[in-house]
Chains A and B, each alone.
Chain A
Amino acid sequence: MNTTSFCDNLHPLEIIVLEAFGAHPAGAVLTTEQLAEATKLEPSQLSMAIEWLLAKQLLAVTSETVTSVVSLTAVGKTYVERSSPLDRILSAAREASSTGKRLTIADLQRKEGLEPSDVSRAVGRLKKEGALLVVQGGCLESTGRPSPSAEAMRALLHDLREAPRPLDGFSEVQQALIRDYAVKRGSAREPFRIEDRVTRSYTLSPAGVAAVNALVGQAKLEEVAQLSPDLLKDGSWRTKRFRKYTISLRPPRVAAGKKHPYREFLDAVKLKLVSMGFQEMRGSLVETEFWNMDALFMPQFHPARDIHDVYFVKEPARASVVAEPFFSRVAATHEHGGATGSTGWGYRFDPERAKRLVLRSQGTAVSARTLALSPSVPGKYFSIARCFRYDQVDATHATDFFQVEGIVLGEDINFRTLLGLLNLFAREVAQAKEVKFVPAYFPFTEPSVELHVRHPRLGWMELGGAGLFRPEVTQPLGVTVPVIAWGLGLDRMAMVALGVHDIRELFTDNLDLIRTTRGVF
């Protein structure tokens, strides 16, 4: 196994233990105690870390020794505070002798609060050592001689008051005394406890040595989760190690700021048209029938001008005026051709009807307005205009949609340059090399043509319609050069680019769908 990756998988506790070995000369053997001392870990944390390292065979046990350890019991701790019964009896006897008072065993039991068994056992030992005499009447007298047991006991209590110590660290005499006063079966109330403690020693396995070496580079480095401004400011990042992440996990989601995919599609079309030399036109959502239809030479009795084809505005229902001289010229053109060389439609033009307000139903209305505003010659114009159709809404019909339309004016405009322009659209907008031109009918163009193209992914499709504006359209608006009118039907391309099958989804209110849709342009 690769040592570096081995190290990456070490728990911080394991690393602490390995580092403790690293701080000693190679081949060092350390006991549990020494490790506890070196690592400052809690016993439970240390034993966990040692167990893991043993399991990973980074650590090996070199020896296992059993030591007897002496510690103070709760009774022993009271001896530390209030002296042992030996000392207390001895000093009580000395006090009695110097004052001439009588001291009985019963007195000792009463005054010192000692158990009768403790008293008799201590008195027995002191008498035996010649430090105490029992005289007539059961009175105790001090001999003035010292008691080796009492002194040894005092020394033991002092030595053990902080921590347990190994039994074999004491003298033979002390050991004997400890054994006499140690807790055993049948005598629980003793000051000392003797326990067997297993002490293991450990050393690094060869793999452990390699792991320690690998850790050496990072040996002294503290691990941090996050680089912080403070670490950068004082340069202390150099002494830190950065915890490694599991980078294969899925990231949290982020809400991106981005354009709407359909708008991106339209932006691409817009850019394309501008790059081909087209100037953008803007128009009004509400138009008069005059600009929406009359100016386009659609007769007022035209079937597509029915109440069922256009949305009419409730209030105001009519525009107050329509700009002259266009109004009179268009009216004359409808009635008898005016000055256009046309016969006209031969009906009575209704000026009130021309003033009726409708929701723009075709982008060509924007072109008509532009024609009346002295456009540049030569000139190319386009608009991406929101239009409204009086239709039942379904998967292929929206009430509210974009029409991409425009005009081209110039002395060199004719049927062949019209076809040339459509060729350009086919290539630039639909990446199509094959085209077909099919005769078509629009009320405002003559000749009229439909552009069919072989789209690289969609196959043969109708890309748009175009034609030369009828003189009945251009001349009343003050334009004397030929004008191409063109329109592109891009909804199907947009739907394919966005992967939607229902035209209503182009304007969806489903945020998840908007967030996840990627355009393929």
Chain B
Amino acid sequence: MPTISIFKSDLESLLGSPGEPRTVSIDELQERLALVKGEVKDYQEDTGELRVELQDSNRPDLWCCEGIARQIRIKLGGTAEPYPFLSKQSGRLPRLLVAPELERVRPYVAACAATGYRVTEQGLAQLIQTQEKLADIFGHKRKTVSIGIYRLQKIRFPVTYELANPDEVRFIPLGMETAMTLSEMLMVHPKGLEYGSILAGQRRLPLLRDADHRPLSFPPIINSREIGEVLVGDDELFVEVTGTDATMVLLTLNIFAVNLADRGAAIQPIAVRYPFETPFGKRVVTPRDIGRPRAIQIETIERALGQELETTVVKQALETYGYQVSTGKKSVTVKLPPYRQDLMHAMDVVEDVAMSLGYGAFSPEMPSQFTVGGLSRIEQLSDRARELMVGLGFQEIISNILGSPEHYRDAMRLDGTEWGKMVEVRNVMSSNFSCLRQWMIPSLLRVEGASARSFYPHRLFEAGEVAIVDSAHEVGSRTETVLGAIIAHASAHFSEIHSCLDACLYYLGKTYSLEPIPHPSFLDGRVGKIVVSETPIGLIGEIHPEVLERWQIVMPVVAFEVNLSRLEQLT
């Protein structure tokens, strides 16, 4: 999950009260970051820059300096600060009007204004980083959520969110010197190239403009340079979020609103007017408190944590973690703060109680119930076979299962044969890792081919999994455990490997016979299938010289392979 960059001094000023930063040592910070499932990955003492990794993908509010500071600050202060802009607003609010046709394209928008906070260099870096991380990770690369920030004084309300003719509307986008049409931005601008696919197939494209028809931005692609370029020193901002998920759009705006409020800005809500129904109605004042109260039995928490807890202890733990809490007799009713939307189950609250109290507050206790351990039958058989092969003087190998058709099929002369069928990967990254092995012998030849300088004889084996294509099976293939073995030296021949197979199967308690078959990987007339109880369970033979050439092996190689899964089923 995200790794973000923050400045220690910025964090310290956000941890303290206005004008009074609270200093923290790196050790203390590392400890405190347990509250946000974060970890300091790097600290540059000269610049004060910290790299912090945050684990929780359901807490986008924590992917910024303000969020981390807030969670720690509440814990230290013992109570959450209220955000008055979430209360019912009186009087006329600046409006944002949504055009009807957006319902099909990118329906939701949320916005607010923030005044009275003069943007600092570190503050601006955080604004931009938060915008990027939220849009990229939480907003699925801007598909679900994207964010724009503007200079408020350039905007005249009401702002309109509408669809525009891509070849008519033109403005100078961020990062460019000249005005261009929306079509041109998609074709030329780096952000257009990166995110244009989100709007693929749309004849008319989203546009935010103000009452004077001046474009604010082309969401989710790019802002206008004139209105949408925020600079250090600006103290009047306009933030909007557009997207396809009403809740996520609102949550994202809430996060920006509380972040700016935490930095001292006054938040001016905006009234968004939709011509269509949304989950929050046709008129939505944003930011908006989207949390819902939820009652949780104390017993549920106690049982999950394995510890008796007073209602007051639970209440305090949750309040110092940002919740609004009211207590019943044996329950608590909780509501998440406006910047969170990750309460799906009571267990989510349970974890927050544990984190707020600290994991160290819970003494470990051994599970007391008795269970019997054991290995699966196939693992037991595989272990016995491995012991036997070791006793027969073979060195065990472990190989990758993911490999290439070139090795598992083509070099074995199996192209176009039944034996050459294998599970192949659709999204190949490297042809070296593009299919699962369907048999073991190529894995052993891989080692043989690379080890001509290791003294002979070579006796190698591997017991492991292969994937055998089987359309009758639920997932189109069977995972089976097989045993493969090879012998390589100047006079290696069939009877030598046959003796080993014979000994191995004897001690596994199997009577077998060999039946001659043609098989392209082996010398004709020196290959057979191994049959137990009329079921073919493997192959034995002398490897074909052409196969050896393909593997660049210059020693005769004899081999056998036994399907242990099939053998196990015969018992």
Interchain CB contact (< 8 A) of A378 among B306, B351, B367, B454: B367
B547–chain A nearest beta-carbon distance, Å: 17
In whole angstroms, what is the CA distance A421 to B386 when docked? 31
Q: Is B503 an interface position by the 8 A CB rule? A: no
B358–chain A nearest beta-carbon distance, Å: 9
Interchain CB contact (< 8 A) of A275 among B34, B365, B373, B453: B373
Q: Is B57 an interface position by the 8 A CB rule? A: yes
Interchain CB contact (< 8 A) of A314 among B350, B369, B391, B426: B426
Q: Mark B61-83, 1 if CB is under 8 A from A, else 0.
A: 00000000000000000000000
A284–B364 touching, CB < 8 Å: no
Known A-B contacts A288-B475, A416-B363, A510-B450; the reply to A441 vs B386 at CB < 8 A is: no
In whole angstroms, what is the CA distance A340 to B55 when docked? 25
Q: Mark A354-366, 1 if CB is under 8 A from B, else 0.
A: 0001010000000
Known A-B contacts A253-B455, A321-B474, A511-B454; the reply to A286 vs B479 at CB < 8 A is: yes
Interchain CB contact (< 8 A) of A399 among B348, B400, B460, B474: B400
Within 8 A of B (CB), among A397-419: 398-400, 408, 410-417, 419
B249–chain A nearest beta-carbon distance, Å: 14
Q: What residues on B are CB-neighbors of A447 within 8 Å?
A: 304, 347, 350-351, 354-355
Q: Mark A259-285, 1 if CB is under 8 A from B, else 0.
A: 110110001001001111111111111
Q: What residues on A are CB-neighbors of B375 within 8 Å?
A: 270, 274, 280
Of the listed stretches A1-9, A60-68, A153-161, A342-350, chain B binds A342-350
Number of CB contacts from chain A to chain B under 8 A: 279
Q: Mark A498-521, 1 if CB is under 8 A from B, else 0.
A: 000000001101111011000000
Q: Is B546 an interface position by the 8 A CB rule? A: no
In whole angstroms, what is the CA distance A260 to B345 when docked? 46
Q: Is A476 an interface position by the 8 A CB rule? A: no
Q: What residues on A are CB-neighbors of B394 within 8 Å?
A: 257
> Which residue of chain A is the closest to B351 with respect to CB atoms?
A447
Q: What residues on A are CB-neighbors of B401 within 8 Å?
A: 285, 386, 388, 400
B374–A279 touching, CB < 8 Å: yes
> Which residue of chain A is the closest to B300 with respect to CB atoms?
A341
Interchain CB contact (< 8 A) of B344 among A275, A343, A449, A506: A343
Q: What residues on B are CB-neighbors of A316 within 8 Å?
A: 471, 476
In whole angstroms, what is the CA distance A512 to B391 when docked? 20
A400–B474 touching, CB < 8 Å: no
A439–B370 touching, CB < 8 Å: no
B454–A274 touching, CB < 8 Å: no
Size of interface on B: residues with Cβ below 8 Å to A: 94
Interchain CB contact (< 8 A) of A280 among B247, B354, B376, B386: B376
Q: What residues on B are CB-neighbors of A472 within 8 Å?
A: 344-345
Interchain CB contact (< 8 A) of A376 among B363, B371, B454: B371
Q: Is A21 an interface position by the 8 A CB rule? A: no
> Which residue of chain A is the closest to B373 with respect to CB atoms?
A274
In whole angstroms, what is the CA distance A302 to B58 when docked? 10
B303–chain A nearest beta-carbon distance, Å: 6
Q: Is B425 an interface position by the 8 A CB rule? A: yes
In whole angstroms, what is the CA distance A288 to B475 when docked? 7
- The contact size tier of chain A is 35 or more
B450–chain A nearest beta-carbon distance, Å: 4
Q: What residues on B are CB-neighbors of A13 within 8 Å?
A: none
Q: Is A326 an interface position by the 8 A CB rule? A: no
Q: Is B232 an interface position by the 8 A CB rule? A: no
Known A-B contacts A282-B378, A285-B401, A319-B475; the reply to A257 vs B350 at CB < 8 A is: no
Q: What residues on B are CB-neighbors of A415 within 8 Å?
A: 304-307, 350, 354, 362
Q: Is B170 an interface position by the 8 A CB rule? A: no
Q: What residues on A are CB-neighbors of B456 within 8 Å?
A: 255
Q: Is A487 an interface position by the 8 A CB rule? A: no
> Which residue of chain A is the closest to B383 with respect to CB atoms?
A267
Known A-B contacts A274-B374, A282-B376, A514-B395; the reply to A259 vs B476 at CB < 8 A is: no
In whole angstroms, what is the CA distance A257 to B383 when docked? 15
A412–B424 touching, CB < 8 Å: no
B314–chain A nearest beta-carbon distance, Å: 14
Q: What residues on A are CB-neighbors of B56 within 8 Å?
A: 441
In whole angstroms, what is the CA distance A255 to B360 when docked? 52
In whole angstroms, what is the CA distance A439 to B306 when docked? 17
Q: Is A471 an interface position by the 8 A CB rule? A: yes
Known A-B contacts A258-B390, A314-B425; the reply to A342 vs B397 at CB < 8 A is: no
Q: Is B211 an interface position by the 8 A CB rule? A: no
In whole angstroms, what is the CA distance A314 to B55 when docked? 32
B384–chain A nearest beta-carbon distance, Å: 13
A429–chain B nearest beta-carbon distance, Å: 14
In whole angstroms, what is the CA distance A153 to B379 when docked? 102
In whole angstroms, what is the CA distance A230 to B456 when docked? 32
Q: What residues on B are CB-neighbors of A424 within 8 Å?
A: 366
Q: Is A245 an interface position by the 8 A CB rule? A: no
Interchain CB contact (< 8 A) of B379 among A263, A282, A439, A448: A282
Q: Mark A409-447, 1 if CB is under 8 A from B, else 0.
A: 011111111011111100000000000011111010011
> Which residue of chain A is the closest to B349 with respect to CB atoms?
A446
Interchain CB contact (< 8 A) of B436 among A285, A398, A408, A421: A285
B367–A408 touching, CB < 8 Å: yes
A511–B458 touching, CB < 8 Å: yes
Q: What residues on A are CB-neighbors of B354 within 8 Å?
A: 415, 439, 447
Q: What residues on B are CB-neighbors of A468 within 8 Å?
A: 304, 347
Q: Is A337 an interface position by the 8 A CB rule? A: yes
Q: Is A482 an interface position by the 8 A CB rule? A: yes
Q: Is A48 an interface position by the 8 A CB rule? A: no
Within 8 A of A (CB), among B392-408: 392-402
Q: What residues on B are CB-neighbors of A342 within 8 Å?
A: 344-345
Within 8 A of B (CB), among A61-108: none
> Which residue of chain B is the closest to A303 with respect to CB atoms?
B137
B364–A260 touching, CB < 8 Å: no
A287–B304 touching, CB < 8 Å: no
Within 8 A of B (CB), among A273-331: 273-288, 301-303, 307-308, 311-317, 319-321, 323
In whole angstroms, what is the CA distance A284 to B469 when docked? 12
Q: Is B346 an interface position by the 8 A CB rule? A: yes
A399–chain B nearest beta-carbon distance, Å: 5
Q: Is A225 an interface position by the 8 A CB rule? A: no
Q: What residues on A are CB-neighbors of B374 within 8 Å?
A: 274, 279-280
In whole angstroms, what is the CA distance A257 to B487 when docked? 12
> Which residue of chain A is the closest to B435 with respect to CB atoms?
A314
Q: Is A470 an interface position by the 8 A CB rule? A: yes
A509–B359 touching, CB < 8 Å: no
Interchain CB contact (< 8 A) of B350 among A398, A446, A509: A446
Interchain CB contact (< 8 A) of A255 among B58, B363, B398, B459: B459
Q: What residues on B are CB-neighbors of A308 within 8 Å?
A: 427
Q: Mark A373-403, 1 if CB is under 8 A from B, else 0.
A: 0001011100000101010110000111000
Q: Is B446 an interface position by the 8 A CB rule? A: yes
B350–chain A nearest beta-carbon distance, Å: 6
Q: Is B494 an interface position by the 8 A CB rule? A: no
B344–A399 touching, CB < 8 Å: no
B43–chain A nearest beta-carbon distance, Å: 17
Q: Is B156 an interface position by the 8 A CB rule? A: no
A511–B351 touching, CB < 8 Å: no
B266–chain A nearest beta-carbon distance, Å: 32
> Which residue of chain B is the closest to A342 with respect to CB atoms?
B345
In whole angstroms, what is the CA distance A416 to B307 when docked? 8
Q: What residues on B are CB-neighbors of A340 within 8 Å?
A: 345
Measuring CB to CB, which residues of chain A are less than 8 angstroms from any residue of chain B? 253, 255-260, 262-263, 267, 270, 273-288, 301-303, 307-308, 311-317, 319-321, 323, 337, 340-346, 357, 359, 376, 378-380, 386, 388, 390, 392-393, 398-400, 408, 410-417, 419-424, 437-441, 443, 446-449, 468, 470-472, 482, 506-507, 509-512, 514-515
Can you name 26 A-B residue pairings with CB atoms under 8 Å?
A255-B395, A255-B455, A257-B391, A259-B386, A273-B373, A279-B372, A284-B475, A288-B475, A311-B427, A341-B346, A359-B402, A378-B371, A386-B401, A388-B401, A388-B402, A398-B400, A400-B400, A411-B369, A412-B367, A416-B365, A419-B365, A438-B359, A448-B351, A507-B399, A511-B460, A512-B451
